């Protein structure tokens, strides 16, 4: 099968003929229908985070089950599924306390460097977060897939596996936004737009969208933003404090920089909560005004929207089919696998929204 392989950071991915194993007892082999490009993949292409190489990136996808291992009863060949990198074991402390996205049990989450599912010219190919979706087929643990309704289009379903699960989960699970509360979304890419749509679904009173690109701000309004701030030549924290006469209840940072994460905290009202979703470069340290914490202001991290994806994704599918989750607006470009580097160039230039590869 064909897969896009990263051989060295900073180099383009190359399309290679790759061997993939047969499913082990609890594994599922998926024929990839659609995969989305996420900025987190780009961080690894650019070498911002180390990872054993050669590597098949990609972690946002939907497809059809091709074969299952001996002990798998949850899905069977022909089922449509969405993949998620939050592979859960179901019996660790995190899983049993309702936080399966924190699961790191090695039995389901092979640590980086312990790959065994793909090879190329006899050499092990590393699997990215136990998924590796930039490939015609994907071999995963059964706890990396969720079955979805057959009437859900797979191109839009793919986005649910990372961007939309992360953005909506930041609102529903991490921030726990209550109806009427105000929220600022810092960065309106795939993740930020999903957070805006999630905030609208959760009944936010004011939704302030912040980005440097006017086209993204226009789309943010379509998805539910009530106000927008153009971040070019503006101190975004000052702008939000002015607009709200004292700050927002929630700020959701969806970019991944020191400056914007600090600004997310600085724009909070007393008792406000900043949720940092964006992934800044390795080693980044944040500086916060400590005295602001005297007014109960808080800041927290967020991994994959603290999801319970086997519950969340079918619910997001229902929201889409009811017309309440506007996935159609989030796809800007459709590519083939050989065009993948073009997609990442567009992502670097900042012009694209979610880009998908159809197989």
Ligand X SMILES: NC(=O)c1ccc[n+]([C@@H]2O[C@H](COP(=O)([O-])OP(=O)(O)OC[C@H]3O[C@@H](n4cnc5c(N)ncnc54)[C@H](O)[C@@H]3O)[C@@H](O)[C@H]2O)c1
Binding site for ligand X (CB under 6 A): 38-40, 43, 162-163, 166, 187-192, 210-213, 216, 231, 254-256, 260, 277-279, 302-304, 347, 350
Residue 228 beta carbon to ligand X: minimum distance, rounded to whole angstroms: 11
Q: Using CA atoms, how far apart are residues 252 and 184, in angstroms rounded to an integer?
A: 6
Set 7, 33, 51, 59: catalytic member: 59
First to last CA, the chain: 12
Residue 86 beta carbon to ligand X: minimum distance, rounded to whole angstroms: 9
95 binds, among Zn ion, ligand X, none (CB under 5 to 8 A by kind): Zn ion
Set 33, 38, 103, 188: catalytic member: 38
Q: For residues 45 and 148, which CB has a smaller minimum distance to ligand X in the complex?
A: 45
Q: Is 103 a catalytic residue?
A: no
Q: Is 38 a catalytic residue?
A: yes
Sign of CA dihedral 261, 105, 60, 330: negative
260 binds, among ligand X, Zn ion, none (CB under 5 to 8 A by kind): ligand X
162 binding Zn ion? (CB under 5 A): yes
Which parts of 104-143 interact with Zn ion (CB under 5 A)?
A: 105
Rounded to 5°, the CA angle 200-227-186 comes to 75
Q: Using CA atoms, how far apart are residues 152 and 64, in angstroms rounded to an integer?
A: 12
18 binding Zn ion? (CB under 5 A): no
Question: Which residue's structure tokens are 């699961």?
Answer: 103
The DSSP code for 52 is -
Set 95, 103, 162, 254: catalytic member: 162
Q: Is 59 a catalytic residue?
A: yes
Q: For residues 23 and 189, which CB has a smaller minimum distance to ligand X in the complex?
A: 189
Strands 61-68 vs 27-37: parallel, antiparallel or unpaired: antiparallel
Largest CA distance in the chain: 63
Set 40, 86, 132, 302: catalytic member: 40
**Span from 155-163, 200-208, 272-280, 287-295 in contact with Zn ion (CB under 5 A):** 155-163
89 binds, among Zn ion, ligand X, none (CB under 5 to 8 A by kind): Zn ion
Which parts of 285-344 interact with Zn ion (CB under 5 A)?
A: none
**Span from 38-46, 66-74, 310-318, 337-345 in contact with Zn ion (CB under 5 A):** 38-46
> Which residue from 199, 209, 210, 205 is spatially nearest to 182, judged by alpha carbons?
205
CB 62 within 8 A of CB 140: no
Q: Is 162 a catalytic residue?
A: yes
Q: Using CA atoms, how far apart are residues 306 and 174, in angstroms rounded to an integer?
A: 6
Q: Using CA atoms, how far apart are residues 156 and 326, in angstroms rounded to an integer?
A: 10
92 binding Zn ion? (CB under 5 A): yes
**Which residues does 15 contact at the CB level (< 8 Å), separation at least 6?**
2, 3, 4, 5, 337, 338, 340
The residues that bridge with 119 in the sheet, in sequence order, are 19, 124
40 binding Zn ion? (CB under 5 A): yes
> Which residue from 211, 214, 266 is spatially nearest to 242, judged by alpha carbons?
266
By beta-carbon distance, which residue lies closest to ligand X? 189
105 binds, among Zn ion, ligand X, none (CB under 5 to 8 A by kind): Zn ion
How many chain residues are in contact with Zn ion, going by CB under 5 A? 8
132 binds, among ligand X, Zn ion, none (CB under 5 to 8 A by kind): none
Residue 103 beta carbon to ligand X: minimum distance, rounded to whole angstroms: 14
- Burial zone of 90 (CB within 10 Å; 0-12 exposed, 13-18 middle, 19+ buried): exposed
Catalytic residues: 38, 40, 43, 59, 162
**Residues binding Zn ion (CB under 5 A):** 38, 40, 89, 92, 95, 103, 105, 162
């Amino acid at each position: 099968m064909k897969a896009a392989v990263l051989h060295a950071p900073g180099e383009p991915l190359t399309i290679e003929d790759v061997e993939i194993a047969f499913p082990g007892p609890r594994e599922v082999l998926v024929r990839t229908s659609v995969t989305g490009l996420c900025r987190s993949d780009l961080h690894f292409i650019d070498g911002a985070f180390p990872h054993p190489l050669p590597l098949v990136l990609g972690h946002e996808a939907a497809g059809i089950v091709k074969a299952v291992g001996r002990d798998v009863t949850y899905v069977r060949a022909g089922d449509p599924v969405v993949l998620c990198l939050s592979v859960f074991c179901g019996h660790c402390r995190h899983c049993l306390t309702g936080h399966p996205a924190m699961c790191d049990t090695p039995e389901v989450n092979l640590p980086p460097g312990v790959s065994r599912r793909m090879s190329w010219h006899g050499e092990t190919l590393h699997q990215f977060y136990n998924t590796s979706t930039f490939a015609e087929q994907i071999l995963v643990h059964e706890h990396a897939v969720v079955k979805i309704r057959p009437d859900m289009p797979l191109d839009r379903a793919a986005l649910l596996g990372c961007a939309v699960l992360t953005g909506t989960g930041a609102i529903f699970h991490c921030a726990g936004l209550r109806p009427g509360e105000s929220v600022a979304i810092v960065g309106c890419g795939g993740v930020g737009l999903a957070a805006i749509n999630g905030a609208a679904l959760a009944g936010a009173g004011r939704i302030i969208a912040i980005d440097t690109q006017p086209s993204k701000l226009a789309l943010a309004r379509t998805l539910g933003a009530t106000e927008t701030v153009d971040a070019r030549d503006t101190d975004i924290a000052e702008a939000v404090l002015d607009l709200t006469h004292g700050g927002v209840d929630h700020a959701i940072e969806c970019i991944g920089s020191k400056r914007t994460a600090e600004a997310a905290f600085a724009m909070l009202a007393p008792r406000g909560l900043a949720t940092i979703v964006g992934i800044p470069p390795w080693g980044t340290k944040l500086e916060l005004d400590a005295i602001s914490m005297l007014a109960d202001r808080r800041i927290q991290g967020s991994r994959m929207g603290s999801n319970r994806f086997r519950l969340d994704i079918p619910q997001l599918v229902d929201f889409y089919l009811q017309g309440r989750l506007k996935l159609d607006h989030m796809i800007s470009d459709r590519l083939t696998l050989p065009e993948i580097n073009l997609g990442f160039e567009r992502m670097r230039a900042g012009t694209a929204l979610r880009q998908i590869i159809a197989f």
